[in-house]
């Protein structure tokens, strides 16, 4: 008779004819002793329709509450009857896939005890094939992993709680950022027109002057005041005046280039900043100012007739006219009032002050 190789006998319980009887008894005693110390059990079953149980160790009693003799030859119950119904599909699929690929399976599932409770176990098993390559037995060992599962579930719960807490902190941080943005926007923008306000304008003007005095560029400040705005308020009320200011802000924004800036700095006063190189700045500023005068023409109908609203623009240049923010504002404002006294609806520069 051929001697079976170690590979052919691996994973099988000792059978007569392979080892000397005394050696086989010694290995069996050792196996039973080790099995008795496990928080689990060993098993071997046939590869038949009901997986008839040929051997199952005593550990099944401590795990399931059912004595091992009830499983032998499926006399009282099949082992699958102790597996939680919700876990059976996973067990069957895992075992079938492992058998198909001739490898071991490793699967966690719950066993329902005689008392009705359930505990988690981990089964590691494999198929036993004969010399013809036919699947004869399924065998493996099952250990109690309830404590480990409790720790895993606790860890999973803690991770989820941390995720939720992190999401809440992220949401709170986002809310704070949005609140800060809203606060910054409110602090730097006019609530009626949505344009930057005087505070934002002064910050922008300072930056513009700093840039102008350190580069070959000029900043032009256009100070704009509406003509006959008071007549609109007196004739039609403040609501009509507010509506007019909103329309003015929209038209001013249509003139803006990407690096231009416009702000509402007073009741019916607006400031427009534009930039160009030193040689082109005066002509550029006058060109934009005239476009503003053309754009801000509003015929307003009242019960007493039509009010023709327009605007007057004073232009001051940095660095040629002034390099101090207050001086530049004061000059642009004075030039604008010169235009008001000269008939309104016009553009005034420093050159217009010369005799």
Point out the residues that are catalytic: 268
Q: Which of 201, 232, 213, 223 is nearest to 303 (CA)?
A: 232
CA dihedral 183, 186, 188, 190 (to 10 degrees): 180
Number of CB atoms found within 10 A of residue 346's CB: 20
Q: Which of 221, 207, 237, 217 is nearest to 303 (CA)?
A: 237
Sign of the CA dihedral running 11, 16, 18, 20:
positive
CA 166 to chain CA centroid, nearest Å: 11
**Sole residue written with tokens 């730097």:** 188
C-alpha 315/C-alpha 208 separation (Å) is: 15
Which residues are CB-neighbours of 112 under 8 A, at least 6 positions away? Answer: 64, 82, 83, 84, 118
């Amino acid at each position: 008779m051929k001697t079976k190789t170690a590979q052919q006998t691996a994973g099988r319980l000792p059978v007569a004819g392979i080892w000397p009887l005394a050696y086989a008894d010694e290995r069996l005693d050792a196996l039973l002793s080790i099995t008795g110390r496990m928080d689990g059990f060993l098993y071997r079953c046939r590869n038949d329709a009901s997986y008839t149980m040929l051997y199952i160790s005593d550990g099944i009693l401590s795990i399931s509450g059912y004595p091992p003799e009830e499983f032998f030859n499926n006399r009282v119950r099949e082992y699958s009857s102790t597996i939680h119904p919700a876990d059976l599909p996973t067990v069957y699929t895992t075992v079938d896939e492992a058998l198909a690929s001739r490898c071991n399976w490793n699967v966690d599932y719950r066993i329902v005890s005689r008392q009705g409770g359930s505990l988690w176990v981990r089964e590691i098993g494999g198929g036993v094939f004969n010399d013809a390559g036919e699947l004869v037995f399924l065998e493996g060992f099952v250990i109690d992993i309830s404590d480990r599962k409790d720790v895993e579930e606790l860890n999973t719960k803690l991770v989820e709680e941390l995720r939720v807490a992190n999401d809440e902190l992220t949401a709170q941080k986002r809310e704070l950022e949005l609140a800060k943005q809203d606060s910054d926007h409110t602090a730097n923008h006019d609530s009626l027109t949505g344009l930057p306000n005087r505070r934002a304008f002064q910050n922008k003007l300072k930056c513009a002057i700093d840039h102008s005095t350190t580069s070959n560029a000029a900043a032009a400040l256009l100070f704009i005041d509406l003509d006959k705005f008071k007549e609109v308020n007196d004739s039609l009320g403040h609501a009509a005046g507010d509506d007019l200011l909103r329309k003015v802000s929209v038209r001013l924004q249509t003139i803006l280039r990407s690096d231009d800036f416009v702000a509402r700095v007073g009741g019916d006063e607006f400031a427009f900043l534009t930039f160009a190189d030193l040689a082109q700045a005066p002509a550029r500023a006058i060109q934009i100012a005239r476009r503003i005068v053309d754009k801000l023409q509003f015929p307003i109908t009242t019960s007493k007739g039509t009010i023709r609203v327009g605007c007057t623009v004073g232009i001051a240049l940095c660095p040629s006219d002034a390099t101090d923010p207050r001086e530049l504002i004061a000059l642009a404002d004075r030039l604008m009032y010169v235009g008001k006294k000269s008939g309104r609806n016009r553009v005034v520069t420093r050159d217009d002050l010369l005799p």
